[in-house]
Amino acid sequence: MKRLIKGGTLVDATGEYQQDLLIQGEHIAQRAAGIVVDDTVEVIDATGLYVMPGGIDVHTHFNIDVGIARSCDDFFSGTRAAACGGTTTIVDHMGFGPQGCSLHHQLATYHRYAEGQAAVDYGFHGVIQHIDDEILTEMAAMVSEEGISSFKLYLTYQYKLDDGDILRALSRLREVGALTTVHPENDAAIAWRRAELHRQGKTAPIYHALSRPLECEAEAIARTINLARLADNAPLYIVHLSHGLGLDYIRLAKRSGQKVWVETCPQYLLLDINHYLRADGLKYILSPPLRPHAELDKLWVGIADGSIDTVATDHCTFPYRLRQQMAQQDFSRCPNGLPGVENRMTLLFSHGVASGRISPSRFVELTSTRPAQLFGLWPQKGCLEPGADADLVLFEPQLQQTIQHQHLHDNADYSPYEGFSCQGWPVLTLCRGEIVAKQGHFTGRAGYGRFIHRRPFVEIKDKGE
């Protein structure tokens, strides 16, 4: 099957081009101005639209068991929502398995979750819940045989690692060609704050945020950066940055030549701590928590000046009705995480591109090209060159619509962005040449998505096209 995307403005991480794209089967076959085809080729008129690499969301948690609950989006509903929002690849953070389990055990579990379910392409980040010689040995095969070239460490929650284990993980992962990703929050500081708040009977949602203020995150960022430096400059990727002080530490490290990259999420760019004071404050419980408004502006500076590398969602869905059942009396009983995979692209386009903070090509860099480069997907994905997968999103830059959960395709019962008016929406999503969403509706199928065997980590410095 051949398709021609004609008359649009191609946008990649290097700029904007008046060019057409010829798709043959699953791949981009040609990229040029004024491609002429015969009538066996289906022509898609992209006049007035941006034609961009499909979104890559490198931070989701589908079907994750967090001990007190299981997130309600599985690999079908989660990737269906992704497709409708212009995202053609997700890289899911595997959750913890039984105590002491191997890396391969968790991988097999996640393959079972995703196979026959995913509607767009997917990969997995490994999760390190303990360190011993077996785990350190297994890491090599995970990268070279299983296509898992990034692993997540938690500095808080049940399976937090201590500094010695963090060093051992960073060092070994560097050796085997993997990128270490980290959830940085100081667990002891949070426990200390939370105990004091509990003693005072302070259990409303706002105390979730006050139990883990930004210093808890900033300390853990600075510490992990220095541990990575000690581990022979091991490559490090900080997930879900929520505030400015941590970004300053990251800038300093980048300036000194350290291999450190950082992701933020729409919730930290657009929602602030005051949401916890609303009657439905439980809807916004996640970690790190939403921050004072001034932090949002600092993150937007990082989005514009290049110091933030990627925008992902950390999509992790627990319905509001479940949150109410579990945590009406106490924020600390609420499962953590927000939905958002379907609205990442429109939110960042609207508040980034349409409001003049960033260019369309910086948008592509943040949502697709840099994630692909950092996580071993490039140039198969995040790229509009011949030979790349035909993963595309056609964006209508002037289209103005309001986010309403009733129109979304996840299994949540609310959206944290309900009522947000956005300018610029995906109107067509193609994953490997197949149309998986059109005008915000799902046209794909469960099981179409393919596991992507990711390449080992290599540093790519240029915009790469």
Q: Smallest gap, in angstroms, from Cβ of residue 287 to ligand URP?
A: 4
Binding site for ligand URP (CB under 6 A): 61, 183, 286-287, 314, 316, 336-337
Q: Which does 441 bind (CB under 5 to 8 A by kind): Zn ion, ligand URP, none?
A: Zn ion
Of residues 174 and 183, the one with the C-beta less far from ligand URP: 183
Interacting residue with Zn ion among 31, 183, 323, 454 (CB under 5 A): 183
Of residues 105 and 441, the one with the C-beta less far from Zn ion: 441
Interacting residue with Zn ion among 314, 342, 389, 396 (CB under 5 A): 314
Q: Say which amino acid occupies 122.
A: Y
Q: Which does 286 bind (CB under 5 to 8 A by kind): Zn ion, ligand URP, none?
A: ligand URP
Structure tokens at 392: 């595309």
List of residues 6+ apart from 434 with CB closer than 8 A: 444, 448
Q: Which residues pair with 262 in a beta bridge?
A: 238
Report how far apart, in Å, the C-alpha atoms of 169 and of each of 49, 238, 284, 425, 432 are. 45, 15, 32, 40, 35
| CB-CB contact of 28 with 22 (8 Å) | yes
Does 389 help bind Zn ion (rule: CB under 5 A)? Answer: no
Does 125 help bind Zn ion (rule: CB under 5 A)? Answer: no
Of residues 117 and 181, the one with the C-beta less far from ligand URP: 181
Write down the residue that tokens 């931070």 correspond to.
Answer: 59
Does 160 help bind Zn ion (rule: CB under 5 A)? Answer: no
Q: Shortest CA distance to 250 belongs to which of 264, 269, 232?
A: 264
Please count the residues of this chain forming the interface with Zn ion, following the rule CB under 5 A.
3
Q: Shortest CA distance to 370 belongs to which of 292, 439, 462?
A: 462
Of residues 265 and 327, the one with the C-beta less far from Zn ion: 265
Footprint of Zn ion on 441-460 (CB under 5 A): 441
Q: Which does 336 bind (CB under 5 to 8 A by kind): Zn ion, ligand URP, none?
A: ligand URP
Does 315 help bind Zn ion (rule: CB under 5 A)? Answer: no
- Among the candidate windows 1-9, 182-190, 277-285, 351-359, which touches Zn ion by CB under 5 A? 182-190
Of residues 337 and 433, the one with the C-beta less far from ligand URP: 337
Cα 76 to Cα 69: distance, rounded to the nearest angstrom: 19
Transcribe 343-399 into DSSP letters. THHHHHIIIIIITTSS-HHHHHIIIIIHHHHHTT-TTTSS--STTSB--EEEEEEEE
- Residues at the site binding Zn ion, with contacts judged by CB under 5 A: 183, 314, 441
